[in-house]
Amino acid sequence: MGIYEPGATGTVRVELNRPGVSKLVLVAYSSVIWDVVVGPNATLDSILVSGYEVPIVNAPAGVPVDVRSFLGGDTRLPFAYTWDSYEARRLRFELEASMGLVLRSFSGCYQGETFIID
């Protein structure tokens, strides 16, 4: 999922309710506090977070989190927030070709506060 920036609070809540095992990829340009919550029928394997500015992740206990940011000196992923864009195509390529992940769904917007994955 991708955004350009969070809402006024600076926090984006991500609720994972999809049954089965999932990996989350969260991308943004601006600094974001990502609050990730997992529902009872969902299993979260890992979280990959990337941005231009440095993000913060509040993840469930025991879930591995890989945080990357340009300002943090890391190699970041493209920050896509619309599906039909050059950045989204680059993001998909990076995830699938370089990292071996398969992109199963994408949700994004310019400014976001809550995402629910069912």
Q: Cα–Cα distances in Å, from 88 out to 4, 35, 60?
A: 12, 23, 27
Closest CA to 28 of 62, 66, 77: 77
- pLDDT on residue 103: 80
Looking at the DSSP bridge assignments, the partners of residue 20 are 42
| Per-residue model confidence (pLDDT) at position 45 | 95
Query: Is the Cβ–Cβ distance between 77 and 53 less than 8 Å?
Result: no
The region of weakest confidence among 11-20, 61-70, 100-109 is 100-109
Residue 74, pLDDT > 90, answer no
For residues 21-44, give the mean pLDDT: 95
> Which has the higher per-residue pLDDT, 32 or 94?
32
- pLDDT above 70 covers a percentage of the chain that reads 98
Identity of the residue numbered 92: R
Owning domain of residue 40? 2-117
Q: To the nearest whole number, what is the mean pLDDT of the chain?
A: 91
Specify the number of domains making up the chain: 1
Residue 88 phi/psi, 5-degree rounding, is: -65, -40
Range ranked top by mean pLDDT from 20-29, 72-81, 98-107 = 20-29
Report whether pLDDT(65) > 90. Answer: yes
Q: Which two tokens stand for residue 60?
A: 């469930």
pLDDT at residue 95, as a whole number = 82
What span, in angstroms and rounded, lies between the C-alpha atoms of 51 and 78? 8
Q: In what order do the strands lie in the sheet with 42-51?
A: 65-69, 42-51, 20-28, 2-6, 108-112
pTM of the model: 0.90
